[in-house]
Structure 1
Amino acid sequence: MATIASTVRTADDAKLLRFALKQDAIGSGANGVVYLAAAAIFGRLFGLPAGLLYPVGAFLVAFAAALLFLASRPTVSRPAVAVVIAVNIAWVAASVELLVAGWFPLTTLGVALVIAQAVVVAGFVALQITGLRRTAV
């Protein structure tokens, strides 16, 4: 069987990677929908402006759709997964920056949310990197 270096070899090779992408999609999509549906409430609860939560929610819904599409393909594109990993790393870095710089008057619940999301996304990164390594040709 010929393999292409930029794609994952077989469905079995990609089980962990597909799992990681799907879990990331579920978490991202759920957060996005909640942000879009309840931005004003969440804004007050967490100390984040609703004007920030709407575009972030829209991005997360689109990102989730892209992750599901990527995970559903017969072959998983390694370059696309690298982009997903980079986006997730950027999310974690932005979360840390948000906390350190004090851009918004976060409530205690808001700080906990930002930390929890950063930890979960970092976990997705670890799973995605591991899955990608297991699929190396």
Structure 2
Amino acid sequence: MLADGVTCAVMGVALAAGAGFVASLTGLPGGLLFWAGLALLPVAAFMLLTARSARPSRAAAWIIIAGNEAWVLGSVLLMLAGWVEPNALGYAFIAVQAAAVALLATIEFLALRRLSAAAA
């Protein structure tokens, strides 16, 4: 969760601060990028606070995993629903960040399952 929190914070700051630049490269709306970046900051704080715990709560871990999966689903919908018209780099940007988030969610799920099995 620590890696998830750090990458979430970095992405949030990068998107919020560089929305115009990223928009010019990807064809994605600058407003979408800016607000997505801002939305990531409290999520990152929650992840980092959860990761600081020697034994994070299962509920917090599930919230993080579910949030990550929702982000991935939203990313896929963004690419397929026609809500935006990114260029090729924009599609790649959405796909790569969604894949990274899916990987983090999978790692967190496996770690949670391993901790649950060890506690049983």
Amino acid at match of 1:48: L
Q: What secondary structure sits across from 2:44 in the alignment?
A: helix
Q: What secondary structure sits across from 2:56 in the alignment?
A: coil
Q: Which runs of 5+ in 2 are unaligned?
A: none
Over the matched positions of the two proteins, sequence identity in percent amounts to 37
Give the superposition deviation at 1:70: 0.3
Q: Which runs of 5+ in 1 are unaligned?
A: 1-20
Over the aligned positions, Cα root-mean-square deviation in angstroms equals: 1.0
Amino acid at match of 1:91: W
Q: What secondary structure sits across from 1:135 in the alignment?
A: helix
| Partner residue, 2:98 | 118
- Cα deviations by residue, 1:52-80 (Å, 9 ceiling, x for unpaired): 11221111122111111000023201011
| Partner residue, 1:27 | 7
Q: Distance in 1 between matches of 2:69 and 2:110?
A: 15
Moved over 3 A (4+): none
| Partner residue, 1:92 | 72
Give the superposition deviation at 1:112: 0.4
Say whether 1:82 aligns with 2:62.
yes
Higher RCO by CA contacts (8 Å cutoff, separation 6 or greater): 1
| Partner residue, 2:26 | 46
Amino acid at match of 1:117: Q
- How many matched pairs? 117
| Partner residue, 2:85 | 105
Q: Distance in 2 between matches of 1:103 and 1:45?
A: 18
Give the superposition deviation at 1:86: 0.6
Q: Which has the larger radius of gyration?
A: 1
| Partner residue, 2:45 | 65
Give the TM-score taking structure 1 as reference length. Answer: 0.81
